[in-house]
Amino acid sequence: MTPGLEFGSWMALPDGAGDALAAAGPLSASASGTRVVVWDRDRVIASVPITGSPAGVPRFVAGTLHFGPGWVESGRWTALPSPPPTLYGGVRSSAWSRDGQRVALVVDGPWNPANGGSSALLVERRIDGSERVIATDCGAAAVWMSDRCIVGIGRDLRVWDAAGDHVVGPAHQGGGVAAVSGTRDEAWLLTVGTDGTALLWNTETFASPMVWPGAWAGGAISPDGQWIIGIDVGGALHTAWRDVAALVPAGPVPAQGRARAVVLDDKRLVASFDEAPFHRTAEITVTP
């Protein structure tokens, strides 16, 4: 029998910053290209300007929020040092390792005559500022990092690991990425494309991802990997359970307004909306 989910009443979160969301225990955060806000439950504990117009998926590492090429600590934004000379442009996407020691960055690189625009460089930078270029034209709209690999997500899924660089299969038609979300153990990766597809990848093989039928604009997977929540193209929230070989729909999530982004922790979800209150959280209970 498919388990069920019960959702508590939505609670408003004050003074949000954007649609890049993170949650861990009582902490949650929202980020834009210019500001980060961190909450402890419904209380703002940091609201700080950031530099470099970063993008990507924020991540809490031991209670510290990492986002783009830096982190928020003691109410201040600290940017990673860049190895000189830095020739890169803005950050298109980013993903931190779970130990907070490394970050993968998709950045604007030199002009590429083949596509009439700048190339997308993939670099891995450590907190001491040392850096290596992973790919000079990675073709990725978003990036995700685990302990054993870096994944570029776009029209194809491309993996860099100990075996080298390899394309593991087609991902999102058109190449745009709306959402990226991984499990706590990094065994599962959810990607949602701007083409409306939602794909769940087993990171051991990255072969034959589970497809969630429908047209999706965003989504997230729970830390334990047992269920996911999706935002349909109309902004409504829906849930599904991960079965052995398929995603099983589990019903809608009541909410007022159109959802824009969502993130999950073990016992609650945090979402941004297109009407006030723009950021909200709700408790989750799993029922047999």
Annotated domain spans of the chain? 4-287
pLDDT in tens, 12-58: 999 889 999 999 999 999 999 999 999 999 999 999 998 877 899 99
Chunked into runs of 10 residues, the chain (288 residues) has average pLDDT values of: 81 94 96 94 94 88 93 89 68 94 89 62 91 89 96 96 92 96 97 97 94 97 96 97 90 94 96 96 89
Distance from C-alpha of 201 to C-alpha of 212, rounded to nearest angstrom: 11
Model's pTM, two decimal places? 0.94
Q: How far is CA 114 from CA 108, 110, 137, 170, in A?
A: 15, 12, 11, 22
What is the domain class of 4-287 according to CATH?
A: mainly beta
**Which one-letter amino acid corresponds to residue 240?**
A
